[in-house]
């Protein structure tokens, strides 16, 4: 900041804030936190990411990140009384908003959702698309989230752990049913992991009109849970075990597969990769394309991903040392 002279003159400060504002509008909060911003003559790191094992310097820098929470955040200059229950910031940038309800006041998560739809105008800077990673509606029993506020059209998904093979959360003998949110998800380490490996803005192309549409992705609880459990088992027991993951339709399996593949190739032991390659085999061509596109968008380095359309491509991708290879089952006729 010294090189930019931000603290020396009001004009320099304004220039810097305008630049930051422009990058947030264009790229979104997640990309700005991950990759920083370039402001001549410097590259600014906006967030120190998870330190690799035995890297003391990176650990020190990670500890310097400032995670903060503001209660009753007034977000509108026009309507002074409008305030959010909570907003979570990382290094001064808003990342997650919260509307909280509890059943003592005869209100629940659906009232929180309604409040977002009615009160949180998506033209307000805080609620503009990509400015925050996610918006959470929380009560003492349920959690729902939305990544794009659009008034009445805001689409909220559950962020529950599931109970008895169904929706909702299990009873919690030690407190509120939703305390996993702050005890697990909102810890510095888990939140950083979500920013680094899960949250993302992806581009969807309509097959008919070829129109492109941006979509912000945030993991649902079961997706985060399954990927975390698989990764920790591989770390503990090494490669070569078998797993069965059962899921329902619409549970977001393409994203779960992409997140898993992307993080599996990053696993290291004693400074060396634990896996040479990850091969994703699907049984349907449409799923094949969907997973391939999803993985490519989640990968920061797209040349690590190969699509094996013919069996020859499969051999070539393996011998070329591609880290993630997507293919369909009919490439393995024998």
Tell me which residue range forms the domain holding 14: 1-46
Q: Is residue 284 part of a domain?
A: yes
Same domain, 267 and 312: yes
- Would 209 be classed as within a structural domain? no
- Asked if residue 65 lies in contact with residue 47, where contact means CB atoms within 8 angstroms, the answer is yes
The pLDDT, as a whole number, for residue 130 is 95
Question: pLDDT tens digits for 107-157?
Answer: 999 999 999 999 999 999 999 999 999 999 999 999 999 999 999 999 999
203, part of any domain:
no
Q: What are the pLDDT digits (tens) for 234-259?
A: 999 999 899 999 888 888 888 999 99
Shared domain for 63 and 34, answered yes or no, is no
**Separation CA 116–CA 147 (nearest Å):** 12
Reading the block at residue 33, the tokens are 């936190």
Query: Total structural domains in the chain?
Result: 3
Give tens-digit pLDDT for 5-49.
Answer: 777 788 888 888 888 999 999 999 999 999 999 888 888 899 999
Same structural domain, 293 and 178: no
CB distance 137 to 116 below 8 Å: yes
Give a yes or no: residue 213 inside a domain.
Answer: no
- Domain match, 321 and 229 both: yes
User: In terms of C-beta density within 10 A (0-12 exposed, 13-18 middle, 19 or more buried), how is residue 294 classed?
Assistant: buried
Q: Would you say residue 299 has pLDDT above 70?
A: no
Report the alpha-carbon distance of residue 246 to residue 236 in Å, rounded.
22
Q: Is residue 183 part of a domain?
A: yes
- 165 and 134 part of one domain: yes
Q: What is the pLDDT of residue 2?
A: 63
Mean pLDDT for all residues in the chain = 89
SS3 letters for the chain? Answer: CCCCCCCCCHHHHHHHHHHHHHHHHHHCHHHHHHHCEEECCEEECCCCCCCCCCCHHHHHHHHCCCEEEEEEEECCCCCCCCEEEEEEEECCEEEEEEEECCHHHCCCHHHHHHHHHHHCCCCCHHHCCCCCCEEEEECCCCEEEECCCCHHHCCCEECCCCECCECCCCCCCCCCCCCHHHHHHCCHHHHHHHHHHCCEEEEEECCCCCCEEEEEECCCHHHHHHHHHHHHHHHHHCCCCCCCCCCCCCCCHHHHHHHHHHHHCCCEECCEECCCCEEEEECCHHHHHHHHHHHHHHCCCHHHEEECCCHHHHHHHHHCCCCEEEEEHHHCCC
My answer on whether 36 and 142 are in the same domain is: no
Co-location of 72 and 135 in the same domain: yes
At 15 the pLDDT is: 85
User: Within this chain, do residues 270 and 167 fall inside the same structural domain, yes or no?
Assistant: no
Last residue of a domain, one of 176, 193, 210: 193
Number of residues written out for the chain? 334
**Domain-located, residue 156:** yes
31: Cβ contacts below 8 Å, ≥ 6 apart:
201
d(CA 184, CA 2): 37
Cα–Cα distance measured from residue 79 to residue 277, given in angstroms and rounded to the nearest whole number: 54
CB 199 within 8 A of CB 134: yes
**Token pair 């094996």: residue:** 308
CATH of the domain at 54: 3.90.1570
- pLDDT band of residue 300 (cuts 50, 70, 90) is low
Higher pLDDT: 82 or 300? It is 82
Residue 41 preceded by cis peptide, ω within 30: yes
Report which of residues 286 and 334 the model is more confident about.
286
Q: Is residue 212 part of a domain?
A: no
Question: Does a structural domain hold residue 207?
Answer: no
284 pLDDT more than 80: no
Per-residue model confidence as pLDDT tens digits over 159-217: 999 999 888 999 999 999 999 999 999 999 999 999 999 999 988 887 788 888 999 99
- The set of residues, in sequence order, having a beta carbon less than 8 Å from that of 160 and lying 6+ positions away, is 142, 143, 167, 168, 169, 221
What's the pLDDT at 16? 86
Residue whose token pair is 């990058």 = 23
Residue from 200, 120, 178, 130 nearest 154 by CA: 120
The pLDDT of residue 310 is 79
Query: 58: which residues sit within 8 A by CB, 6+ positions away?
Result: 48, 51, 52
Both 61 and 21 in a single domain? no
Same domain, 84 and 115: yes
Residues 42 and 56 in one domain: no
The whole-number average pLDDT for the span 272-296 is: 82
Is the domain of 139 the same as that of 227? no
Percentage of residues in the chain having pLDDT higher than 90: 58
* Rg of the chain (C-alpha set): 22
Distance (Å, whole) CA 62 – CA 59: 5
């Amino acid at each position: 900041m010294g090189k930019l002279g931000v603290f020396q003159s009001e004009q320099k400060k304004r220039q810097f804030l305008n630049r930051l504002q422009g990058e947030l509008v264009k790229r979104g909060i997640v990309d700005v936190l991950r990759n920083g911003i370039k402001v001549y003559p410097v590259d600014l790191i906006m967030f120190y990411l998870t330190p690799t094992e035995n890297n003391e310097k990176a650990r020190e820098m990670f500890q310097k990140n400032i995670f903060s929470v503001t209660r009753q955040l007034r977000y509108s200059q026009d309507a002074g009384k409008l305030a959010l229950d909570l907003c979570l910031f990382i290094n001064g940038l808003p990342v997650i908003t919260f509307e909280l309800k509890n059943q003592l006041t005869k209100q629940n998560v659906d009232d929180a959702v309604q409040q977002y739809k009615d009160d949180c105008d998506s033209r307000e800077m805080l609620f503009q698309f990509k400015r925050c990673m996610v918006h959470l509606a929380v009560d003492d029993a349920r959690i729902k989230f939305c990544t794009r506020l659009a008034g009445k059209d805001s689409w909220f998904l559950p962020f529950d752990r599931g109970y008895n093979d169904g929706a909702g959360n299990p009873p919690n003998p030690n407190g509120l049913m939703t305390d996993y949110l702050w005890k697990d998800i909102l810890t510095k380490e888990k939140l950083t992991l979500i920013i680094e490996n899960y949250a993302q803005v992806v581009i969807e192309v309509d097959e008919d009109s070829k129109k492109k549409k941006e979509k912000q992705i945030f993991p649902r609880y079961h997706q985060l849970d399954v990927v975390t459990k698989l990764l920790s088992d591989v770390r503990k027991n090494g490669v070569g075990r078998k797993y069965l993951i059962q899921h329902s339709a619409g549970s977001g399996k393409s994203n779960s597969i992409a997140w898993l593949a992307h993080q599996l190739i990053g696993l290291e032991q004693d400074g060396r990769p634990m896996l040479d390659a990850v091969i994703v085999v699907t049984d349907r061509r449409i799923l094949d394309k969907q997973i391939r596109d999803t993985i490519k968008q989640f990968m920061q380095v797209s040349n690590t991903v190969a699509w094996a359309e013919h069996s020859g491509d499969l051999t070539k991708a393996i011998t070329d040392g591609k880290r993630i290879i997507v293919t369909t089952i009919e490439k393995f006729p024998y």
